[in-house]
Amino acid sequence: MAGVIFRAAHVVAVLAFDQVQMLDVTGPAEVFTTANAFGARYDVRIVSTTGSDVRTSAGVRIGVDGGPETLPRRIGTVVVPGRRDWPQAVANRELVALAADLARRTERLTSVCAGAFVLAATGALDGRRAATHWELARELAKAFPEVRVEADPVFVRDGNVTTSAGVTAGIDLALALVEEDHGAGLARRVAQQLVVFMARPGGQSQFSARLGRSEAKHPVVRQVMDAVGADPGAKHNLDTLAREAGVSARHLSRLFRIETGMTPGQYVESLRVEAARALLEAGSDPVEAVAEQSGFGSSETMRRVFQQSLGVPPTAYRARFRTTTTNAARRSAVQ
């Protein structure tokens, strides 16, 4: 379908409700309406269950175009945004019922951030891969075990359903849909106009909070986790960890898989990544020194692990997260 300009307007229905995250609604809407300036024909309509305006989580009121009765029988794209306290959204029977109705009437179903919980409540995500905000991924998997939750991707497509990560990821999702409809050239012009990435580098892992201690209950696993956490840069191999814990390497591996879903080696590596991230963000030591301090041994090993786990190399991670001040701004400040 890429490169095709719609003969008739493609209706995009964005569902809105009280306490919805404002950018979940306005981000995708801005992408689609900006695309119209470059030849697309999107008819963006914001609807609520009652047809009344809504107040967002930011306290800003959003005007809506009406209720569901104002939409055509068949809809091109449906966007379901979310609210941080997702149980409140899922408990809203009218909202879930409307989302279910729109899901049956649309060619393309999408959600932004915690909107995945609303879609999951309708059953639309059963058996499908889905994304949501990294902080909510575990909650989504627990609340809706039929959904195959993926914590890292910025957005996930499964058939005609696309779910995205937190808040601004709705812009990434909408750009991908514009590219699907009209080709990369038009989508790129929209991205340039909005001053955003055409494709965001890396996944959600690069934005996640420091890895907290797992909820492991077994004392042996807790002992090993404490030892690794106290000094991620030490030489923690399986045999050494098992010997210090007083168990066999095989038994320790089994306990770790049961308690954390990871091998001891994977856990060690994850803490080393977190240690390296903290050093890159807060200090100015060379990458080679950071690699040594965090236990990777060499900058090449750290680069490979960063690329695999975060989707970006250490140098790019430092440039992106160390400061909000751009190089251009720093140069102008000293002139």
Summarize pLDDT for 179-204 with one digit per residue, the tens. 999 998 899 899 889 987 766 655 56
Answer yes or no: is pLDDT of 3 > 70: no
Cβ atoms 47, 14 nearer than 8 A: yes
Which among 6-20, 90-104, 181-195 has the top mean pLDDT? 90-104
Other beta carbons within 10 angstroms of residue 212's beta carbon come to 7
pLDDT attached to residue 127: 95
Residues with Cβ within 8 Å of 178's Cβ and at least 6 positions away in sequence, in order, are 31, 32, 35, 40, 186, 187, 190
Answer yes or no: is pLDDT of 212 > 50: no
Beta-strand relationship, 161-164 and 155-158:
antiparallel
Answer yes or no: is pLDDT of 216 > 60: yes
Mark out the alpha helices in 16-92 (DSSP H runs): 22-36, 86-90
Structural domains for the chain = 10-205 (3.40.50.880), 219-321 (1.10.10.60)
Per-residue pLDDT, averaged over 303-332, amounts to 70
Residues with Cβ within 8 Å of 278's Cβ and at least 6 positions away in sequence, in order, are 210
C-alpha closest to that of 112 among 28, 24, 176? 24
Is 332 exposed, middle or buried, given 0-12, 13-18 or 19+ CB atoms closer than 10 A? exposed
Helix (H, G, I), strand (E, B) or coil at 114: coil
Per-residue pLDDT, averaged over 220-233, amounts to 87
pLDDT-derived band at 111 (thresholds 50, 70, 90) equals very high
Per-residue pLDDT, averaged over 200-218, amounts to 57
Q: What is the Cα gyration radius of the chain?
A: 23
C-alpha closest to that of 6 among 120, 141, 108, 101? 108
Answer yes or no: is pLDDT of 28 > 60: yes
- Convert the pLDDT of each residue in 38-52 to its tens digit: 999 999 999 999 999
pLDDT attached to residue 309: 80
Entry pTM = 0.68
pLDDT attached to residue 321: 66
pLDDT-derived band at 78 (thresholds 50, 70, 90) equals very high
pLDDT attached to residue 300: 93
Which among 55-59, 262-266, 330-334 has the top mean pLDDT? 55-59
Answer yes or no: is pLDDT of 151 > 70: yes
pLDDT-derived band at 135 (thresholds 50, 70, 90) equals confident
Task: Tell me the two tokens of residue 67.
Answer: 């209720």
Q: Could you tell me what percent of the chain has a pLDDT over 70?
A: 87
